[in-house]
Amino acid sequence: MMGAKLLLLLVASSLCLSAAIAAQQTCPADLDSKCGDAASGDWEGEFFPGIPKIKYEGPSSKNPLAYKWYNAEEVILGKKMKDWMRFSVAFWHTFRGTGGDPFGAPTKSWPWEDGTNSLDMAKRRMRAHFEFMEKLGVDRWCFHDRDIAPDGKTLTETNKNLDEIVELAKKLQEETNIKPLWGTAQLFMHPRYMHGAATSPEVKVYAYGAAQVKKALEVTHYLGGENYVFWGGREGYQTLLNTDMKRELDHLASFLQAAVDYKKKIGFNGPLLIEPKPQEPTKHQYDWDVATTFSFLQKYGLTGEFKINVECNHATLSGHSCHHELETARINGLLGNIDANTGDPQIGWDTDQFLTDISEATLVMSSVVKNGGLAPGGFNFDAKLRRESTDVEDMFLAHISGMDTLARGLRNVVKLIEDGSLDELVRKRYQSFDSEIGALIEAGKGDFETLEKKVLEWGEPIVPSGKQELAEILFQAAL
């Protein structure tokens, strides 16, 4: 009987997806289309003709191209859901991801791609990107400079290419009211950065990286970006045998300070964010985790200038949970943005999968709610389709799933708050510090002599149970 019900459910879901995809097509985005001049960067066909605008239909919906939990305008805990989430599409994974890996060739060839990295192709890709966001109902995006525009033979030519694509992006933003959550410079792919950028032992590479960040800051500001991110994928080392760690860390700090100075000079008021990662591609990356990054910022007097962009997959690579990294950032006033993704616990590298675990999403959202939200940061889907997912609609399905998962996490946090049992368990666990002597300790006035006298007065302490199992039951009840 259960098998028959499951079969009916699968058939219904399949029919819903087929119906959505079979909607009337208008000007399909493939290079054989007669709708426009496909060889021209000015071509503006519809890129996702079979995909409707994604709408909220509620938990009972069987339509895979609909939101079940994410209702953008619904007010939860005093804010619209879209203001809690501030979702963003990552240009690089969504529109530059090929499905290739170290063991296999690319598997994805989107209909609008012509196999080149030309300016015309970059323009067509940018138009596809904005149509995707409009249909998804997301009004923010994130980009690397080199993902949206091709390298030239010189820095001048490269900047000219970037300017041309940025002008198109600006025009599309004005038409759609979409803007960047953040921008960044890609300082890890080009061979010149094989030893790093800010930590390269070659001063000419350091200077080139600075020039690239200068331009990336300018275009992020020009496009109305709300933040700017530093991810130092190669700011680290492969071996200490040939590395002067102190000198490299000093150089990194000088680079970041120069970025702060230039940001202020051009009037960019958005936060600068550092995205920690322990390793890959380097053996050891200097911003290993949130605590290491906080220590670095403190040492070099940069704590007031930077916040943290926590990526969940990076958290697990560093041996922490995403919740741990978020809480470490939050309690130190550093939580600025979240790269919403996850890794596979059976795989030891950065798989950048869409977050679909309801339990993890609930923990993530509990930190966000305690932080009062993420603005001017948000959730960026730094996540990619699996190598084997090669249909255009998979791009939508992946983002819908990720958005619904986090929305469901937010709804679960509401349940936990309204029930109050878990918060009360935590309060009771620390209630001994609500005493006079506890208040003295928390005020930094609990000297050892006074505490010794209290111990002699009290005798051996009776230590209560931590009630971990009860805490887990209360948490799971909200899921």
pLDDT greater than 50 at residue 12: no
For 305-345, give the DSSP string.
TEEEEEEHHHHHHTTS-HHHHHHHHHHTT-EEEEE--B--T
pLDDT on residue 42:
54
Query: 26 in the Ramachandran plot: left (φ > 0), alpha (ψ -120 to 50) or beta?
Result: beta
Above 60 in pLDDT, residue 339? Answer: yes
| Average pLDDT of span 174-203 | 97
Given this model, what pLDDT does residue 8 score? Answer: 39
Q: 425 near 90, Cβ under 8 Å?
A: no
Distance CA 47, CA 29 (A): 4
Residue 38 has pLDDT above 90, yes or no: no
Token pair 């989430």 is at which residue? 85
Q: Is residue 18 over pLDDT 80?
A: no
Q: How far is CA 212 from the centre of its chain?
A: 22
Look at residue 21 and tell me whether its pLDDT is greater than 80. Answer: no
Q: How far apart are CA 147 and CA 216, in angstroms?
A: 12
Q: How many residues does the chain have?
A: 479
Single-letter code of the amino acid located at 157: E
């939508």: which residue's tokens?
396
pLDDT at 44: 55
Q: What is the mean pLDDT of residues 360-372?
A: 98
Residue 14 reports pLDDT greater than 70: no
pLDDT tens column, 87-146: 999 999 999 999 998 899 999 999 999 999 999 999 999 999 999 999 999 999 999 999
Question: What kind and span of H or E run contains 141?
Answer: strand 140-144
Say if CB 324 and CB 367 are below 8 A apart: no
Calculate mean pLDDT across residues 339-346.
Answer: 92
Exposed (0-12), middle (13-18) or buried (19+): which is 365, by Cβ within 10 Å? buried
Collect all residues with Cβ–Cβ distance below 8 Å to 21 and sequence separation of at least 6: 50, 51, 393
- What pLDDT is attached to residue 204? 98
Q: What integer pLDDT is reported at residue 43 of this predicted model?
A: 54
- The total of other beta-carbon atoms located within 10 Å of residue 258's CB is 14
Res. 330 pLDDT band, cuts 50 70 90: very high
Rounded Cα–Cα distance for residues 259 and 214 (Å): 7
Q: What is the pLDDT of residue 232?
A: 86
For range 30-39, the mean pLDDT? 47
* 414 phi/psi in degrees, rounded to 5: -60, -45
Residue-wise pLDDT for 273-312, tens only, equals 999 999 999 999 999 999 999 999 999 999 999 999 999 9
- Interatomic CA distance for residues 278 and 286, integer angstroms: 7
- 179: three-class secondary structure by DSSP: strand
Write out the CATH class of domain 68-419. Answer: alpha beta
User: What is the arithmetic mean of pLDDT over 10-32?
Assistant: 41
pLDDT of residue 347 exceeding 90, the answer is: no
Structure tokens of 172? 């599309």
| DSSP per-residue codes, 11-62 | HHHHHHHHHHHTSPP-S--STT-SSS-TTSTT----S-TT-PPP-B--TT--
436 burial class (0-12, 13-18, 19+ CB within 10 angstroms)? exposed
Contact 169, 126 (CB under 8 A): yes
User: Confidence band (pLDDT; 50, 70, 90) for 36?
Assistant: very low
pLDDT tens figures, 208-231: 999 999 999 999 999 999 999 999
Per-chain mean pLDDT for the chain: 92
More confident: 339 or 32:
339
Mean pLDDT score, 7-25: 39
Distance of CA 34 to the CA centre of its chain: 38
Q: What is the mean pLDDT of residues 422-442?
A: 97
Q: Which of 365, 272, 314, 439 minimizes the C-alpha distance to 70? A: 365
Rg (CA), the chain: 25
Name residues whose C-beta falls within 8 Å of residue 15's C-beta, 6 or more positions apart in sequence.
none
Dmax over Cα atoms in the chain, in whole Å?
90
Angle at 21 between CA 83 and CA 173, to 5 degrees: 40
Catalytic residues: 144
pLDDT of residue 29: 46
Three-state secondary structure call for residue 174: helix
Strand segments (E) across 199-348: 227-230, 236-237, 272-274, 284-285, 306-311, 335-339
Distance (Å, rounded) from C-alpha 473 to C-alpha 479? Answer: 10
Mean pLDDT computed over 396-420: 98
Give the pLDDT band (50/70/90) at residue 34.
Answer: very low
pLDDT surpassing 80 at residue 263:
yes
Compute the C-alpha angle 447/448/451, nearest 5°.
Answer: 90
Q: How confident is the model at residue 191 (pLDDT cuts 50, 70, 90)?
A: very high
Segment 226-252 shows an average pLDDT of 97
**What per-residue confidence (pLDDT) applies to 32?**
53
In the chain, residues under CATH classification 3.20.20.150 are 68-419
Quickly state the pLDDT bin for 148 (edges 50, 70, 90).
Answer: very high
pLDDT of residue 453: 97
Percent of the chain with pLDDT over 90: 87
| Torsion sign (Cα): 300, 302, 304, 308 | negative
Answer yes or no: is pLDDT of 202 > 80: yes
* 413 sits in which H/E element: helix 392-419
Grade residue 345 by pLDDT with cuts at 50, 70 and 90.
confident
Tell me the three state secondary structure of residue 104.
strand
The first and second tokens of residue 145, run together, are 């400079």
d(CA 145, CA 154): 15
